[in-house]
Amino acid sequence: MKIGPFEHSSQVVLAPMAGVTDQPFRNLCRKNGAYWTVSEMITSNQKLWGSRKSRSRLCFQNEVGPRWVQIAGGEAKMLASAALAAEEMGADIVDINMGCPAKKVCNKAAGSALLRDISLVQDIFQQVRAAVSIPVTVKIRLGWSLEEINAPLVAKIAEDSGLALVTVHGRSRACKFVGNVNYDQIGEVADQVDIPVIANGDIQSAEDAARVLAATGVSGVMIGRAAQGKPWLPGQVSNYLENGEIKNNPTLGEVKAMLMTHVSELTSFYGELTGPRIARKHVGWYLTEQSQGSQRRKEALREFNRLETVGQQLQAIEEIFDLLGGQDTLAA
């Protein structure tokens, strides 16, 4: 897959997910074989960049490239300025969010709400493209609703405006994350343009990815929620698409080491107060499936969510994995 000057055999992209794909998680996915990763959504309002949340999301300068940074907003000039600032901070690729279905985003005429105003979409594409020298991409949905499907038109405008790639989530904004993903309509988008199109939505395994690629003719796939608690998944899928081999899930010992590292790095990144609190959801994602059928494991996870320090959390992880004794690997 090729995005501007960046080219790699991997056809798998880690999706931008607010509260998930922070720097520690992106780095962990890279260590497990991912190449393309996208940052959490960053507001284009630079007046808010001094907040704790924005400061953490703007930390990408010391990462292995390509550093693919997503920005969100509803004003072309503001998005262009934010894209330029991101480039000056070290971004290699900038992505425009036109896919987020969250009400708080759409209420500000951003995210997927932009799909209802084609003239604004065109203005945003042109101003952002003119503002930076790095590749510009966009993530969209099929449209605002099932009655307002316009992804092929938006993709064509993106191509004509000089954008390098379009990612399409195969649902409308109105669908949110409910119902089946329409891969056929993603394929129709790919048929309309010559730039790469990435398929997104409910791709949870290597086999899913292969089926979507075969059915749609897209250039790659984007994995989102399926990677929560499975930072090895993007690399696992990428390896299958490249080599036809499905790597085994990591052993319990490997997952334990990965999780211990992840929890420690979250505290190093966010600090001793915020890091352990953010770690709770990640530990839950890693271990939720394994807690099924064991009351003691469920209790251990509940107890974990009351811990306040990284030291307490690391000790608890040791104890939880002791309770998982007898299993070779985590559940698929």
Listed residue (152, 146, 135, 82) closest to 110, CA to CA: 82
- Three-state secondary structure call for residue 197: strand
What single letter denotes the amino acid at residue 181? Answer: V
pLDDT at 104: 52
Other Cβ atoms less than 10 A from the Cβ of 18: the count is 18
User: 300: which 2 tokens?
Assistant: 């251990």
Phi, psi angle pair for 200, to nearest 5°: -135, 145
Distance CA 170, CA 143 (A): 9
For position 109, what pLDDT does the model report? Answer: 52
Tokens 């993530």 label which residue?
Answer: 139
pLDDT at 106: 39
Q: How far is CA 157 from CA 2, 120, 151, 160, 331, in A?
A: 19, 11, 10, 5, 43
CA nearest 198: which of 151, 160, 233? 151
The answer to whether the peptide bond before residue 16 is cis (omega within 30 degrees of 0) is no
Alpha-carbon span 35 to 281, nearest angstrom: 24
pLDDT value, residue 171: 86
What's the pTM value of the predicted model, to 2 decimals?
A: 0.92
Catalytic member of 29, 59, 100, 175 = 100
pLDDT confidence of residue 64: 92
The whole-angstrom separation of Cα 153 and Cα 98 is 14
The Cα 259–Cα 29 span in angstroms is: 12
Nearest to 71 by CA among 110, 23, 118, 109: 110
Decide the pairing of beta strands 6-7 and 2-3. Answer: antiparallel
What pLDDT, in 10s, does the model give residues 121-147?
999 999 999 999 999 999 999 987 778
Closest to 113 (Cα-Cα) out of 97, 124, 94, 137: 97
User: In Å, how far from its chain's centre is CA 232?
Assistant: 14
First to last CA, the chain: 28
pLDDT of residue 241: 97
Length of the chain: 332
Is 175 annotated in the active site?
A: no
Please check whether residue 134 is in contact with residue 91, taking contact to mean a CB–CB distance below 8 angstroms.
yes
With beta carbons less than 8 A apart as the criterion, state whether 60 and 78 touch. no
Using only the alpha carbons of the chain, give its radius of gyration: 20
Given a cut of 50, the residues of the chain with pLDDT beneath it are 103, 105-107, 331-332
Which pLDDT score, from 0 to 100, does residue 302 have? Answer: 85
AA identity, residue 157: I
Reference 112, options 72, 83, 81; nearest CA is: 72
